[in-house]
C-alpha cells in the first residue's frame, strides 16, 4: 500500500502567508518609525537650548484650542489628545530627548486648556438678561472722557440691586459731577447685555466683557447726581483721582491734540485724542505709541537707570563701596511698578512691567539683558494669570514684536554689524541707523498678519515712520513731559510744556503725512483662521529654531499667504441682527441697505469688506438711491451677475408683516432673501434664506458669489460661559428656524 502524502489544509497556508506579510510590514513600519524618531532625536539634540522656548507655545495651543472648540465634548477630546501625546512620549522613552519633549509638551498644552477653562468659570458674573431702562445707585470705579464721540465713559458698580450686574459701563455726553470717582451716583440709564461680534472677524465685546466682569453696557438718559461723596477707594482704584488730576492739568497746559497724546503717555488713557489724529496714528503704524506697553515702560526704566547710576557715580565713595548697578536696577523696578499703577495697570502694561523686571533682574545678576529665554519666561508668567489675553491683539503684537527683535539681533550678521569697533562717529551712526531700519522692517513683517487679522488694515510705511517716531517719543516727548510735570510743583514747567507741545505736534504731523501717502494702508477682508494659524505657526518655527530646519517654516507661511490672497472679497455682508447689509454691485460700488446707519456700522461693514476708509464718505452709497435696484419702504430687490449667472436678492427693510400670499410669491422669485425678523415657513427662495434666527446662529455672515462661499461669525451656540449667558437672554430669539442649520438650502438651482 502506498502512503498518501499528508498536506495541511489550504486555509492554513493562507493564514501563514498573511501572518508573514503582516510581520514584514510591521517590521518595515517599525524601521521607518525608528528612523524618523532617530532623526528627530538628533535634530532636537542640535536644538537642545531652544526647546524651553516652546513651553509657552504649547501652553498657548491648549488655550487657543479651548477658545476655538465650541463645547465640552471637544475640550475633553482635546485633553485626551494631549494625554495621548504624553503616552506616546512615555512609549518612546523618558530617557530619549524626543520622548521627554512630547511628555512636557502634552503637559503644557493640557495645563493651558485647564487654566483658561478654570479662569473663564472663575470670573463668572451676572450678565443682564434683556435690555431695560432703570433708575439705580452705583459707585464710580473709573471715569474717562472719549474725544472721538465727545462722551464720558463710566465704570460703575450698582448698589443694592441684585437684578443688575456687579459691574457695568455707561456713556453719556453730560459733564460729570466734581470728584465723582469713588462716589455714589444716582443715574437713569438704558442697559443692554454686552454685544457679540456682528460680523465674521469682527470685534466680539461679549467675550472681552466676560473676562472683565462687565455684565452690561448702556447710555445714561439724564445727568447723574452725586448722592454720596467719595470715600477711601480700594488700592486698585486709589490712583484714579490722581490720574484725573494729571489729565486735567495737562489739558490746561496743551492744545487738545497734543494734550490727548500727552495724557495717553502719562495716564494710559487715550480717550481724549481726537478721532482724526487717532486714525492717522493707526494708518501710519504709530498707534502703538498711544498704548502704554513695552516702549513706555522701557523708556521709564532706561531713564531711571541712567539717571540714578550717573548721579551715584559722581561720588567716589558711593562708586567704590556700593553696588551701583544693583541699586539702579532696584530704583528702576520701583519706577516701573509706579508707572504701571499710575497708568491703570492694564494687562499690556502689567505684561511689559513683568518683562522689565525680568530684564532688571538679569542685569543685576550679570546676565544678558534680553534673550529668547527671557521672552519665554515672561510669557510663562503672563499666560497663567491672564490666559484670555492670548487671543487678543495686544498680547500677540507685543510678543511677536519682541521675538522678531531678539531673533534679528541674535543673527550672526546683525551681531557683526553692531559689534563695537574703532571708526568715525558718522560710520557708527550709519551702522546703527541701518540696524534700526532692519529692525523696523522685521517688526512690520511679523506684525502684518496679526494686524490684518484683527483690524483688516495695516500701514505699509510704518517701519520708516517708527524710525523717527520711536526716538522722538522715547528721548524727547516723555522726558520733557516728565520734567514739566515735576517742575510744575515749583511753577517752572512752562518752557518744558512748550517743548512737549512742539514735539507732539511734530509727531502728529508725521502721522498725518505718512497716513496720506498713496497706498499708506493695506485693506483686507476678514482673514481666515486657517491662514492666520499657518502664518503664526510658520513664523514661530522660523524664529524659535536656529538650525537649517527652521526654514521649513516658510512652507506654512507661504500657504497662509496664498490662502489669504485667494480668498474672494465678499459680495454680501450681513450683520448678526440682519438689519444692516453691505452689497457689492456689478459696477464695483458698495451700497448699504439702510441710509441711517451710523459711523460705527459703516466702519465695521467697510472694514469687513476690505473697503478703504475714504470710501466711508465717498463710496458707500444707499441701496435705495441706485437705479438698478428696486426699493420700497419695506423691501429692496437687487439683481447681480457673477460668472455668467444672474442672482436676485431680496432684503426686508421693515417690521411690517406682508400678506402671506404676496410674501410666498415674492420669495419664489428670489435666489436669496435676508430679513431682520423670522420669515414665515412659506417663504422659500431658490437658494438661501437668512432670517433673524438663522443669522443669530451663524453670528452674521459674509457671502461670496463667485465661487459661492460663506464665512460665518462667532455663534452664540456653545458651552463657553459667555455663550451660555447669551442663550439665557430673551431679547435675542435663539429658536432656530427649519433651515437655520443648512445655510445652503437647495430647492431649485435651474435658471
Say which CATH number the domain at 204 has: 2.40.50
Domain boundary, last residue among 201, 216, 238: 238
Same domain, 559 and 593: no
Same domain, 663 and 688: yes
Same domain, 708 and 681: yes
Taking the C-alpha atoms of residue 739 and residue 694, their distance in angstroms, rounded to an integer, is: 8
| Torsion 101-102-104-105 (CA) sign | positive
Encode burial over 179-204: b for 16+ CB neighbours within 10 A, e otherwise: ebbbbbbebebebbbbbbbbbbbbbb
Domain boundary, last residue among 518, 538, 566: 566
Distance (Å) of CA 342 to CA 245, 349, 395, 402, 584: 12, 10, 21, 24, 47
pLDDT at 732: 40
pLDDT at 735: 30
pLDDT at 438: 84
pLDDT at 14: 59
pLDDT at 328: 85
Region of 610 (left: φ > 0; alpha: ψ -120 to 50; beta: rest) is left
Taking the C-alpha atoms of residue 623 and residue 645, their distance in angstroms, rounded to an integer, is: 21
Same domain, 168 and 56: no
Domain boundary, last residue among 122, 148, 175: 122
Over the Cα atoms of the chain, what is R_g? Answer: 30
Please state the φ and ψ torsions of residue 222, each to the nearest 5 degrees: -135, 160
In a domain? residue 289: no
In a domain? residue 259: no
Same domain, 544 and 679: no
pLDDT at 728: 67
In a domain? residue 549: yes
Taking the C-alpha atoms of residue 638 and residue 629, their distance in angstroms, rounded to an integer, is: 5
Same domain, 139 and 106: no
In a domain? residue 72: yes
In a domain? residue 208: yes
Encode burial over 677-692: b for 16+ CB neighbours within 10 A, e otherwise: bebeeebbbbbbbbbb
Same domain, 593 and 707: yes
In a domain? residue 192: yes
Residues recorded for the chain: 751
Same domain, 37 and 155: no
Same domain, 602 and 690: yes
pLDDT at 619: 61
**Which residues, 6 or more positions from 731, have their beta carbon under 8 angstroms from its beta carbon?**
129, 130, 131, 192, 193
Quickly list H helices, 410-461.
Answer: 412-418, 425-455
**Residues in the chain where the model's pLDDT stays below 50:** 1-4, 236, 613, 615-618, 730-751
In a domain? residue 489: no
Taking the C-alpha atoms of residue 348 and residue 408, their distance in angstroms, rounded to an integer, is: 23
Encode burial over 402-434: b for 16+ CB neighbours within 10 A, e otherwise: bbbbbbbbeeeebeeeeeeeeeeeeeeeeeeee
Judge contact between 182 and 139, C-beta under 8 A.
yes
In a domain? residue 268: no
Judge contact between 228 and 184, C-beta under 8 A.
yes
pLDDT at 9: 55
Same domain, 596 and 685: yes
Same domain, 604 and 629: yes
How many domains does one find in the chain? 5
In the chain, the N- to C-terminal Cα span, in Å, equals 87
Enclosing domain of residue 663:
572-727
Taking the C-alpha atoms of residue 493 and residue 484, their distance in angstroms, rounded to an integer, is: 4
In Å, the largest CA–CA distance within the chain is 133
Judge contact between 696 and 743, C-beta under 8 A.
no
Same domain, 590 and 682: yes
Taking the C-alpha atoms of residue 34 and residue 32, their distance in angstroms, rounded to an integer, is: 5
Amino acid at each position: 500500500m502506498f502512503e498518501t502524502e499528508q498536506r495541511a489544509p489550504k486555509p492554513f497556508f493562507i493564514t501563514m502567508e498573511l501572518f508573514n506579510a503582516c510581520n514584514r510590514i510591521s517590521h518595515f513600519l517599525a524601521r521607518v518609525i525608528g528612523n524618523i524618531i532617530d532623526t528627530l532625536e538628533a535634530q532636537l539634540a542640535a536644538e537642545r537650548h531652544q526647546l524651553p522656548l516652546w513651553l509657552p507655545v504649547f501652553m498657548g495651543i491648549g488655550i487657543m484650542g479651548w477658545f476655538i472648540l465650541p463645547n465640552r465634548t471637544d475640550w475633553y477630546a482635546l485633553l485626551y489628545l494631549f494625554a495621548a501625546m504624553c503616552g506616546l512620549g512615555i512609549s518612546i522613552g523618558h530617557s530619549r530627548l524626543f520622548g521627554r519633549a512630547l511628555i512636557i509638551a502634552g503637559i503644557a498644552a493640557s495645563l493651558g486648556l485647564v487654566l483658561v477653562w478654570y479662569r473663564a468659570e472663575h470670573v463668572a458674573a451676572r450678565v443682564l438678561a434683556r435690555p431695560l431702562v432703570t433708575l439705580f445707585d452705583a459707585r464710580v470705579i473709573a471715569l474717562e472722557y472719549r474725544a472721538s464721540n465727545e462722551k464720558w465713559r463710566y465704570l460703575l458698580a450698582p448698589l443694592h440691586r441684585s437684578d443688575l450686574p456687579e459691574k457695568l459701563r455707561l456713556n453719556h455726553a453730560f459733564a460729570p459731577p466734581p470728584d465723582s470717582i469713588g462716589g455714589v451716583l444716582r443715574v437713569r440709564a438704558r442697559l443692554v447685555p454686552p454685544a457679540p461680534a456682528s460680523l465674521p472677524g469682527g470685534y466680539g465685546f461679549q467675550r472681552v466683557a466676560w473676562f472683565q466682569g462687565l455684565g452690561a453696557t448702556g447710555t445714561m438718559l439724564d445727568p447723574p447726581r452725586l448722592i454720596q461723596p467719595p470715600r477711601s477707594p480700594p488700592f486698585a482704584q486709589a490712583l484714579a483721582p490722581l490720574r484725573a488730576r494729571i489729565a486735567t492739568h495737562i489739558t490746561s497746559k496743551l492744545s487738545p491734540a497734543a494734550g490727548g497724546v500727552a495724557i495717553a503717555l502719562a495716564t494710559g488713557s487715550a480717550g481724549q485724542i481726537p478721532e482724526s489724529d487717532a486714525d492717522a496714528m493707526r494708518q501710519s503704524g504709530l498707534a502703538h505709541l498711544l498704548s502704554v506697553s513695552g516702549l513706555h515702560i522701557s523708556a521709564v526704566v532706561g531713564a531711571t537707570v541712567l539717571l540714578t547710576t550717573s548721579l551715584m557715580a559722581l561720588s567716589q565713595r558711593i562708586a567704590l563701596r556700593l553696588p551701583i548697578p544693583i541699586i539702579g536696577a532696584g530704583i528702576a523696578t520701583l519706577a516701573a511698578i509706579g508707572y504701571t499703577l499710575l497708568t491703570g495697570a492694564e494687562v499690556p502694561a502689567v505684561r511689559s512691567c513683568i518683562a522689565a523686571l525680568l530684564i532688571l533682574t538679569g542685569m543685576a545678576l550679570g546676565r544678558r539683558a534680553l534673550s529668547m529665554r527671557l521672552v519665554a519666561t515672561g510669557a510663562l508668567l503672563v499666560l497663567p494669570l491672564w490666559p484670555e489675553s492670548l487671543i487678543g491683539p495686544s498680547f500677540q503684537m507685543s510678543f511677536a514684536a519682541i521675538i522678531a527683535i531678539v531673533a534679528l539681533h541674535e543673527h550672526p550678521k546683525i551681531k557683526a554689524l553692531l559689534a563695537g569697533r574703532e571708526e568715525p562717529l558718522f560710520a557708527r551712526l550709519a551702522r546703527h541707523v541701518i540696524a534700526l531700519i532692519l529692525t523696523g522692517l522685521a517688526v512690520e513683517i511679523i506684525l502684518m498678519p496679526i494686524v490684518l487679522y484683527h483690524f483688516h488694515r495695516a500701514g505699509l510705511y510704518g517701519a520708516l515712520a517708527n524710525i523717527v517716531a520711536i526716538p522722538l517719543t522715547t528721548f524727547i516727548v516723555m522726558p520733557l513731559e516728565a520734567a514739566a510735570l515735576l517742575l510744575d510743583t515749583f511753577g517752572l514747567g512752562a518752557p518744558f510744556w512748550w517743548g512737549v507741545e512742539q514735539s507732539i505736534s511734530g509727531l502728529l504731523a508725521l502721522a498725518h503725512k505718512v497716513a496720506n501717502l498713496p497706498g499708506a494702508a493695506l485693506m483686507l477682508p476678514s482673514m481666515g483662521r486657517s491662514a492666520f494659524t499657518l502664518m503664526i505657526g510658520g513664523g514661530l518655527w522660523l524664529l524659535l529654531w536656529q538650525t537649517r530646519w527652521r526654514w521649513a517654516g516658510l512652507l506654512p507661511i507661504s500657504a497662509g499667504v496664498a490662502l489669504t490672497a485667494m480668498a474672494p472679497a465678499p459680495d454680501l455682508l450681513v450683520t448678526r441682527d440682519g438689519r444692516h447689509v453691505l452689497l457689492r454691485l456689478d459696477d464695483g460700488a458698495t451700497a448699504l441697505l439702510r441710509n441711517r446707519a451710523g459711523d460705527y456700522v459703516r466702519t465695521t461693514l467697510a472694514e469687513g469688506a476690505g473697503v478703504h476708509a475714504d470710501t466711508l464718505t465717498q463710496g458707500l452709497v444707499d441701496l435705495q438711491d441706485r437705479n438698478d435696484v428696486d426699493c420700497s419702504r419695506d423691501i429692496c430687490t437687487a439683481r447681480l451677475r457673477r460668472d455668467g449667472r444672474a442672482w436676485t436678492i431680496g432684503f426686508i427693510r421693515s417690521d411690517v408683516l406682508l400678506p402671506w400670499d404676496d410674501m410666498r410669491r415674492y420669495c419664489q422669485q428670489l435666489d436669496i432673501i435676508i430679513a431682520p425678523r423670522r420669515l414665515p415657513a412659506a417663504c422659500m427662495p431658490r437658494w438661501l434664506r437668512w432670517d433673524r434666527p438663522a443669522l443669530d446662529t451663524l453670528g452674521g455672515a459674509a457671502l461670496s458669489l463667485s465661487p459661492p462661499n460663506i464665512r460665518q461669525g462667532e455663534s452664540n451656540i456653545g458651552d463657553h460661559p459667555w455663550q451660555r449667558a447669551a442663550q439665557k437672554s430673551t431679547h435675542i430669539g435663539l429658536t432656530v428656524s427649519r433651515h437655520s442649520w443648512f445655510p445652503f438650502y437647495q430647492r431649485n438651482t435651474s435658471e
